[in-house]
Amino acid sequence: MIKFYKKDSKLYSIVKNCCPKCHKGKFWPTDNPFKNIFIKNGGDLGCCKNCSFQFEIEPGFWFGAMYVSYALSVFFSLLVWLIINLINENIGVFMSFCIVALSIVGFSPLVYFYSRLIWINLFVAYEK
Ligand SMILES: [Zn+2]
């Protein structure tokens, strides 16, 4: 498989579910977003087990991840809408709406998982 990210890049931390500061400890308890939501109750680890970095930098820090979550939801919605319209050109507006709405619900664990990782990586730099 071709890797499109370097080990010390922010993309590495996002894709590999790593601490944004050391890239060694984990951010979420598991790498599977669905397992993380439905089995681990959707909580991050709180702090890195390798470097002890507190993930919630300030109170209310994760509210900003909602903006990332919104952008990711719009992206997935447009992608699903484009795919279903490429597969079936005669699909109705109501049916398209229903499929896109269901896909938003289906993708929500993924969106939640990656929105927090992207948000924290906007503010925390990698330190060797
Ligand atoms: Zn760390």
What is the per-residue pLDDT for 108? 93
Yes or no: say if 56 and 63 are a contact pair by the CB < 8 Å rule: no
Query: Distance from the CA of 4 to the center of ligand 1, in angstroms?
Result: 22
Query: Distance from the CA of 13 to the center of ligand 1, in angstroms?
Result: 10
What is the per-residue pLDDT for 2? 64
Rounded CA gap, 19 and 71, in Å?
22
Specify if 28 maps to a domain: yes
Specify if 110 maps to a domain: yes
Specify if 4 maps to a domain: no
Range of the domain at 23: 10-123
Query: Distance from the CA of 127 to the center of ligand 1, in angstroms?
Result: 9
Q: What is the pTM for the complete model shown?
A: 0.87
Domain count, the chain: 1
φ, ψ of residue 60 to 5 degrees: the values are 80, 10
Query: Distance from the CA of 50 to the center of ligand 1, in angstroms?
Result: 5
Specify if 1 maps to a domain: no
Q: Kindly indicate the confidence band of residue 5, based on its pLDDT and cuts at 50, 70 and 90.
A: confident
- Residue 102: its H or E element: helix 93-123
Task: Give the tens place of pLDDT for each residue, 72-93.
Answer: 999 999 999 999 999 988 888 9
Specify if 33 maps to a domain: yes
Query: Distance from the CA of 71 to the center of ligand 1, in angstroms?
Result: 27
